[in-house]
Amino acid sequence: MGNVPFAACWDRLDRADKHRYSLVEVWNEYIDTSPFDFTFEHQGDGVHILQACQSRPIPVAFALELGEWLYNLRACLDYTVWAACAHVTGRLPPPDEGILQFPAYDTPKAWNNNIHRLKHLDEPHRDMLLKMQPFNNTSGASVIAVINELARIDRHRRLTISTTYLAEMEPVVSVPQGCEVKLQWGQRLLINGRADLARITISPWRDGFAAEINPRVGIDPEVAEWPNLPFWKTIRLTDRLMMAQSFVESVVAAFEYDCTGASRRADLLAEDYKNECARREYLKEPVTPTNKPVWDPPIGAISSTLERFNGESFPRGPGPAES
C-alpha cells in the first residue's frame, strides 16, 4: 500500500466485482438445470391455484459469493474513513485507528453516541457521512443500511438465505369456450421452495371441464433478508448489487478527491463538488513515521562450536513427521 491509503479501497472494490460476477455465474449454472416446476391444481368450483415448486436448492456457493461481496464492500467503507483520517492528520497509520469505522446508524442518538470515532476527520467529511446515515433516508431504502446489516449477518451469524423471486409473470390459460377468467396474484417470493403465485377462477364451471396453463414465469435470485420495501421490489437483485457497488465507488471517489484532488472514479462526482474541494485545498500525503530500532542493553557473547556455526541441529534437528 505504501503511502497511498485509498489504493486499498479500490483493491477491495475490484475484488467485490469479481465476486459479483462469480455469483451471477453460480446462478446461471443453477438455473440451466431447470430446477423449477409448476402445478395447476383445481380446488373446486373452477378455482385453480398456480404454484411454483423448487426441486433443487440453490447451491451454497451463491450465499458464499454474496458474503464475500458484502465483506469487501463493508471493508471498503471502513478503509475509506481510515484513509481520510490519514490524510487529515498527515499520519500513517492515523491516530486512534482502533476506533475508526464507517458509521451506519438507524437513529440520531446512535450517531451522537459514536461521533467521537470520527473526531480526526474534517468537518465536511463528518457532514457527508451524516447525510448518508440510514436515519436520514426518508424512503428507508438506504444502501448503507442494507450493506451493513447483510454483512453483519454473514460475518457474525450465518450465511444469508438464498431464495428466488418470480420477477415476470405472464400466464396464458386455455379454458372451455364461453368461460370467464378472473386472476388474483399471490406470492412472488418462494418460501421453503414454494409459492402460490396466482389464483385463477374460471366460471361457469361444470363437471368434465378442463383447463390448462402456460405459466410464462421469469425467475430471479433473491436474498430473503433484503429489506422488503417498495423501493427494492421494483429492482432485480443483480441490478441492486450493481447499484450498491456504484454507491460505494462514489463514496470512495468523494473522499479521495477531497483529500487528494484526484480519483480513479472522479467521473462519478459533480463539478460543483470538485470545485468545492479545490476551494478547501487538498490535503498532503500522510507520512509514515521513521521506524528506528530500540537496542537492548549489550550482553557478553558465549563460546560456541564449529558445528553450531555450520547450522547443525538448528533449531533442534529433524523430528518425527507428526510433530
Examine the pLDDT at 300 and tell me if it is beyond 50: yes
Q: Tell me what pLDDT residue 2 has.
A: 43
Reading the block at residue 39, the C-alpha cell is 402445478
Examine the pLDDT at 24 and tell me if it is beyond 80: yes
Go through 200-211 and write b for each residue having 16 or more CB atoms within 10 A of its CB, e for each that does not: bbbeebeeeeeb
Could you report the per-residue pLDDT of 188-222, keeping only the tens digit for each? 989 888 999 999 999 999 888 989 999 999 999 99
Please give the residue that has the higher pLDDT: either 241 or 321: 241
User: By the 8 A CB rule, do 175 and 79 touch?
Assistant: no
Least confident residue range of 33-42, 44-53, 70-79, 283-292: 283-292
Least confident residue range of 1-10, 154-163, 283-292, 296-305: 283-292
User: By the 8 A CB rule, do 61 and 205 touch?
Assistant: no
Could you report the per-residue pLDDT of 225-246, keeping only the tens digit for each? 998 888 888 899 999 999 999 9
Region for 178 from its dihedrals, namely left if φ exceeds 0, alpha if ψ lies in -120 to 50, beta otherwise: left
Could you report the per-residue pLDDT of 86-128, keeping only the tens digit for each? 999 988 889 898 999 999 999 999 999 999 999 999 999 999 9
Q: Tell me what pLDDT residue 3 has.
A: 55
